[in-house]
Amino acid sequence: MEMYMLPSVITDIIGSQLMIILSFLSLRYTFLLIRKDPDNFLWGFLHYFCITLAIFAISRAVGHMVKQALLISDQKEIWQMLSPLSGGVNTLLMISVAAVTIYYHKGVEGYRAIQKKADSLRRANRRLEEAGTTMKEMNLHLEEMVETRTQDLALSEEKFRNFFHNSKDMVFFCDEAGIILDMNKAGLEMLDYSDKNPPHLSLNHLFSEESGLKDFNTTLTSQRFVEDFEAEFVKKDGSIIYSLLSATALADEKGKLIGCEGIAKDLTRLKTMTSQMISTEKMASVGQMAAGVAHEINTPLGIILGYAQLMKDDFPPESETFENLVVVERQSQACRKIVADLLKFSRQSASSPQDVDIHEILIDVLAIVEHNLHLDHIDIVRCFAEELPVVTGDEEKLRQVFVNLINNAQHAMEDEGGVLTIRTTYLEEEQMITASIIDTGTGIDLNIKNRIFDPFFTTKSVGKGTGLGLSVSYGIIEDHRGTIIVESPVMYENSCQLTPGTAMHIRIPVSEQKKISEEGQNG
């Protein structure tokens, strides 16, 4: 072999060896990549590409080294025989490498498409997992919310049920036609119906007058509520009761009226008490007028009667003058009897004494006046005895006494408010009960303290009182064999200091039946 070819031969041999070494290094590197990430398409593709390249490098390098060896050993004939075979193998391997190289981009695109789809699936899966976690948390919170809401609804329903069943006023629900769908026990009792077999009622049955129902419906439709509507209801027996009605309209989602819910309070007793108060005031006025008239008439009648009796002694019984004097005497006595009967009628009205519970009277009176007291910022303190015997008397007249006294106490505190104390005690040794009405008002001036029970005496402004309340009350308590004691200023318990205000102490003897019962126990 010529010497000038030696560098080329050496370069060819070394290049062939480096080609083998580098291809196997690449193969080893792709193998490590596959072990680290077996599912990576790109590493797999490169690994198979390096295998093909390594085979091609071996074939080509071995071919070149065999060629150089045969040429150096001067065996060209053998190389000429092997040369076509080596060239064919190299060509095939070159084609394989070319094919792998050509489809590399397609493979990468496919891999990227698959990878993109996989990433999309992973993101979707991740979102599904997050949504699942969120749904799970929401489900847990939803259960708690439902449980809390259920408890709130149960509590609200219980409150409503207690209010509906325990209310002492009428509570009812009706539809748009006025048919009463439900009414509580107090309402049925107010109308004298049984709650076991409640009747089918409507507002037409409830209202005694069609005009009252028409005004109620008109106000409810226009304002969607009715407040403090005075109505007359018809009871089962056809009698009338007076009520104070408040109602609220019920509407559907479109605002159409579908019914109403209402509360009615029985004012019959209040109406009766008011009428009695008016009647009492009128009778007291008539009594005072009759007393004045009697005072003016009785004096001349007494003189006429006296002179007629004296003149009878001056004439014989058979004379006409004597008979005329007898007529004058008889008619004068008749006039005195008429005046006495008028006084008796004006001071007393027919009543049937019965056992009366003072506590019940006070509770009824406070229920009526409590609202007005609160409007004047007057607080009420009840100090009722645990056990209080009944008394014998007229319940309505005693109720009138307490109304008068409480009204006077309210008048004394209406400017600045105060405290009204109602105290009852039982004096067992004296067989008396005491009911005290104590206010923290301005008190009673000492100059007028002895005149407060005089008829027509009052410190109120014109139009606010007639001055008959205390005089009438005094007479009523006297008729019950009791007394009224006035204390002003007031000495409160556990205190040595006199405090401005007035205390009216009413003392009434207990019922005779109570006394007889205790005497029998002591005997």
**Average predicted confidence (pLDDT) for the chain:** 77
In the chain, pLDDT over 70 holds for what percent of residues? 71
DSSP letters of 100-130?
A: HHHHHHHHHHHHHHHHHHHHHHHHHHHHHHH
On whether the CB atoms of residues 470 and 506 are closer than 8 A, the answer is: no
Per-residue pLDDT band at 384 (split at 50, 70, 90): very high
d(CA 284, CA 469): 9
Tell me: pLDDT of 340 over 70. no
pLDDT of residue 513: 66
pLDDT of residue 39: 72
pLDDT of residue 436: 92
Other Cβ atoms within 10 Å of 265 Cβ, number:
17
Read off the pLDDT of each residue in 404-428 and give the average, rounded to a whole number: 88
pLDDT of residue 349: 46
Read off the pLDDT of each residue in 395-399 and give the average, rounded to a whole number: 85
- Min mean pLDDT across 225-239, 425-439, 491-505 is at 491-505
- Rama region for 437: left / alpha / beta (φ>0; ψ in -120 to 50; rest): beta
Residue 369 or residue 136, greater confidence = 369
| Residue 410, both tokens | 């309210």
Residue 435: partners with Cβ closer than 8 Å, 6 or more residues away: 358, 362, 402, 422, 423, 424, 505, 506, 508
pLDDT of residue 75: 66
The segment with the largest mean pLDDT, out of 6-20, 25-39, 89-103, 454-468, is 25-39
pLDDT of residue 399: 86
Which sign, positive or negative, has the C-alpha torsion 143, 148, 154, 156? negative
pLDDT of residue 266: 86
Read off the pLDDT of each residue in 373-396 and give the average, rounded to a whole number: 89
pLDDT of residue 506: 93
Per-residue pLDDT band at 426 (split at 50, 70, 90): very high
Residue 21 or residue 112, greater confidence = 21
Other Cβ atoms within 10 Å of 165 Cβ, number:
12
Tell me: pLDDT of 86 over 80. no
The helix/strand/coil state of 491 is: strand
d(CA 258, CA 271): 33
* Residue 237 φ/ψ, nearest 5 degrees: -85, 5
- Min mean pLDDT across 306-315, 487-496, 511-520 is at 511-520
Per-residue pLDDT band at 211 (split at 50, 70, 90): confident
Residue 91 or residue 306, greater confidence = 306
In this structure, which long-range contacts are made by residues 329-334, counting pairs with CB atoms below 8 Å and at least 24 apart in sequence?
A: 329/305, 332/301, 332/304, 332/305, 332/308, 333/305
| Residue 66, both tokens | 């065999």
Tell me: pLDDT of 132 over 60. yes
The segment with the largest mean pLDDT, out of 44-48, 69-73, 414-418, is 414-418
Residue 45 or residue 251, greater confidence = 251
Amino acid making up residue 158: E
Tell me: pLDDT of 127 over 60. yes
The segment with the largest mean pLDDT, out of 20-24, 52-56, 147-151, is 20-24
Residue 466 or residue 30, greater confidence = 30
User: Which residues of 329-389 form beta strands (DSSP E)?
Assistant: 354-356, 378-383
Residue 430 or residue 335, greater confidence = 430
d(CA 455, CA 332): 28
Read off the pLDDT of each residue in 504-516 and give the average, rounded to a whole number: 79
pLDDT of residue 495: 46
pLDDT of residue 221: 87
pLDDT of residue 360: 92
pLDDT in tens, 362-379: 998 898 888 888 888 899
Tell me: pLDDT of 85 over 70. no
Residue 503 or residue 522, greater confidence = 503
pLDDT of residue 438: 92
Read off the pLDDT of each residue in 209-238 and give the average, rounded to a whole number: 86
pLDDT of residue 516: 47
d(CA 306, CA 206): 66
Map tokens 């200023």 to a residue: 489
> Element (H or E) spanning 242, and its range?
strand 240-251
pLDDT of residue 282: 59
